Chain A
């Protein structure tokens, strides 16, 4: 049996607190250590060192990120540059330097944002004036108070317009024109002059931004254009000045910026160990997971790098922490695409049966059985090979699924839907649909039984004896299923429902109900409810899951039926039409039916298989690394 992540060890490094940053860095360089964040030694070592360190690092990165956004990316760090251990004093210095640097640059940043906003406003103004170009009025009249009228032109967020319209109506104002796109709209508001005083506050609440039309504007389009061009030029000039200033600033601070980044990256491992490091006074502990094969290397590197004494202890994972042990990702070769599909569902828990091989074999087998056709299978193989550069490892999936399709096509005697070109090695599905359905049901029963067997084994390995016996997919539900199945088979064969099967069903049901009842600590009402529902789920689960496998046969029949439909349609056409229909029909079958069959196969694997026997709640092994790669992954 293939078990996930068998060789992991839990390590505890007892060291002096001053050596913690260095030890973290050593572990990060080795990329062989995943921190264990559990508060295992909380009582003896109550402090989590580096809280202030972490918050400073976070702030320093925040400032550096914003500076980089403003002044442009820094070149990637030279891999030859030695990694440094960041001391607290250096961090304080870098944090302060970056905070001051950002303070110097922030007026520039704010002004650039304002200029962007001004550009947008200018565009709004240009568009507004174009809209009113046909009116025979002085354009500057569109804004401000007149003898009787109060007019405003500007922009508001689009979702504010209905409410603004309603409220303006209450204060005797109207929205006369709405135009524009994106988040905001240009609007022209008009109302009586005596009601103007109350307008400002409403417009402010509505996030209205007036468009600034100078009083000199009149109806001459050339003058308007010139004025707009002049304003744009001023903005562009200022923007370019600001960018120039930033370029100069970058040049004069380039070395400090690179140094800051280098030191912050070096500090990341210590920052990322978080609760995996604990301390009391000068003593500290660092704990986590290391592959057993790399223990020697870890110890040797620590011996070489740490300045103060330390002790490294390692042990095998305990049974109660198996679900917490990170599982290293293995090289998969042919199985890579299947392993990716397994990971879509979940990562195998430490010591759990790794379902990748079983998944690959059953996926390919079921796909072939549902989509059995030598021609269509060959096309799938060819498609995989042609697209190999784009789909990379998924080429294997295409090739294996296509080959399986070809194999079943041979067994069914089907090539591009032609059922008479070759003799079926086994049988043509349409010749005996009931037999096909029986085979599919038999396959389903086998699949579910193997799944339950794996579920029981996985739970036993995890120390979950109660789950192995009583939970869904456990031993007693499997016995219940077998008894029910045996009884039904006997009944169908005319032998009646055997007493032994009835007794086994009753006993297992009593056991399952009792377990559900005893394992619940909910209030009485909820307990009854959950016991009934959970037991029903277990019983119903096996029945519906078994029937679910009928689709394996149904799709093999469907495949033939679709091909027949294409032939029937083609036969109603002339020679050219016949071949065109045949080609299009086959493409339709390969693409659409192929996709549906793949989805259905995946569904059977995930819902009828994985949900039964696969915990899938394992943690992928993400070792501590130098650099900024895993801020969000270690919590």
Chain B
């Protein structure tokens, strides 16, 4: 297929797939249904069995599989950096698995328990989870990772782990690697695809940098320079110098006063880090909705769709999970839309 044919194919596919998105109203409606109705609407009723945890795990995996299948369909006409960018996007699940493995090994959990928390990865991702699972210690696990495409990550993690066996540094390294690779591939794109995709990824990075830098600095009490080192390059509004100005403040309150005015497209920035995270996520999703429909770059529209879809899939899972575990409507509503509570 030619470039134009790719565009036409992807635009059509995307227009059709975007009908799968539920939107806020439908999601809210789902959260008000009884477990029985909810199971029918979401397909959870297909997962039968006596153990609710196993049912939920199977449902979550199936939901993830839907997302990966859609990603694979959108991946089909793409080639070169655009294809690599989307594949890298999917490799987020590999990183989540590595995080789960490391946490499990640090917590000395039994393999069966760690295994239950792992995503079953599709063919185009290459990590051999069985081999990693079979290791006894974190250094051993990391030494196995040396033989995979996560070698550079393993080299760093091994060095850091010797000094300080705290998983947060490893998490930060994994996130850094993920976003750096994403940005690397985006920088190899051309024209609208390059500018629009970098803009979109810049927003992810801003959200990630702001939330985690505030946490590291004001909750974990890390040094400013260390937090700056852990920040990811490629933010749209928050570059390292701006982050430094923010993080040099003694309190979270003062730091929030230093935030650039354009960090949120609309609305006030909340005062607690958890709510800041929700506000930034909502802002990103609003931007993604616009980008999916109007971006001149089809690749950005595809990324926006995948972001929105994954966000919705996670929410649907959260609703089902809450219902299965018998959480009340108010707790569920608060978990799904914490900012509305504050506004009220």
Q: Residues on A close to B: CB < 8 A? A: 55, 58-59, 61-62, 66, 102, 106, 110, 113, 157, 159-160, 163-164, 166-167, 170-171, 183-184, 198-199, 201-202, 204-209, 522-523, 525-526, 529
Contact = CB atoms under 8 A, between A and B. Distances in A.
Interface string B212-236: 0000000000111110111001000
B330 interface: no
B225 A157 contact: no
12 contacts: A157-B152, A160-B156, A163-B229, A167-B240, A170-B228, A170-B244, A183-B155, A201-B225, A205-B229, A207-B155, A529-B12, A529-B16
A208 B169 CA distance: 13
Nearest to B151: A183
Contacts of B160: 204-205, 207
B253 interface: no
A541 B242 CA distance: 57
B240 A202 contact: no
Interface in B104-134: 111-112, 130, 134
Nearest to B233: A163
A207 B159 contact: yes
Contacts of A207: 155-157, 159-160
9 A-B pairs closest in CB distance: A62-B134, A207-B159, A201-B226, A526-B16, A207-B156, A201-B223, A167-B229, A205-B229, A202-B225
Contacts, number: 83
A78 B157 CA distance: 42
B264 to A, nearest CB: 26
A102 B136 CA distance: 10
Contact of A171 (B15, B151, B164, B225): B225
A164 B240 CA distance: 12
A66 B151 CA distance: 20
Contacts of A198: 223-226
Give the residue among B19, B112, B155 with the most A Cβ atoms within 10 A.
B155
Given A55-B111, A170-B225, A202-B229, A110 B169 contact: no
A275 to B, nearest CB: 15
Give the residue among B12, B137, B225 with the most A Cβ atoms within 10 A.
B225
Contacts of B139: 110, 113
A102 B137 CA distance: 12
Contacts of B136: 102, 106
A195 to B, nearest CB: 9
B341 interface: no
Given A157-B155, A167-B240, 14 more contacts: A55-B111, A55-B112, A61-B134, A66-B140, A157-B156, A183-B151, A183-B152, A184-B155, A198-B223, A204-B164, A207-B156, A207-B159, A525-B19, A529-B16
A159 B152 contact: yes
A626 to B, nearest CB: 21
B16 A523 contact: yes
Nearest to B154: A183
B143 interface: yes
Given A59-B111, A163-B233, A202 B226 contact: yes
B22 to A, nearest CB: 14
Interface of B: 12, 15-16, 19, 111-112, 130, 134-137, 139-140, 143, 151-152, 155-157, 159-160, 163-164, 169, 172, 180, 222-226, 228-230, 233, 240-241, 244
B222 A201 contact: yes
Contacts of A525: 15-16, 19
B128 to A, nearest CB: 9
Nearest to A65: B134
Contacts of A183: 151-152, 155
A91 to B, nearest CB: 16
A184 to B, nearest CB: 7
Contacts of B223: 198, 201-202
Nearest to A164: B229
A272 to B, nearest CB: 14
A349 to B, nearest CB: 20
A199 B226 CA distance: 8
A171 to B, nearest CB: 5
A207 B161 CA distance: 9
B139 to A, nearest CB: 7
Contacts of B241: 170
A167 B130 contact: no
A113 B244 CA distance: 38
Nearest to A529: B12
Contacts of B137: 106
Contacts of B224: 198
A204 B151 CA distance: 19
Give the residue among A166, A170, A205 with the most B Cβ atoms within 10 A.
A205
Contacts of B111: 55, 59
A205 B152 contact: no
Contacts of A167: 225, 228-229, 240
Contacts of A206: 229
Nearest to B49: A46
A62 to B, nearest CB: 4
A170 B240 contact: yes
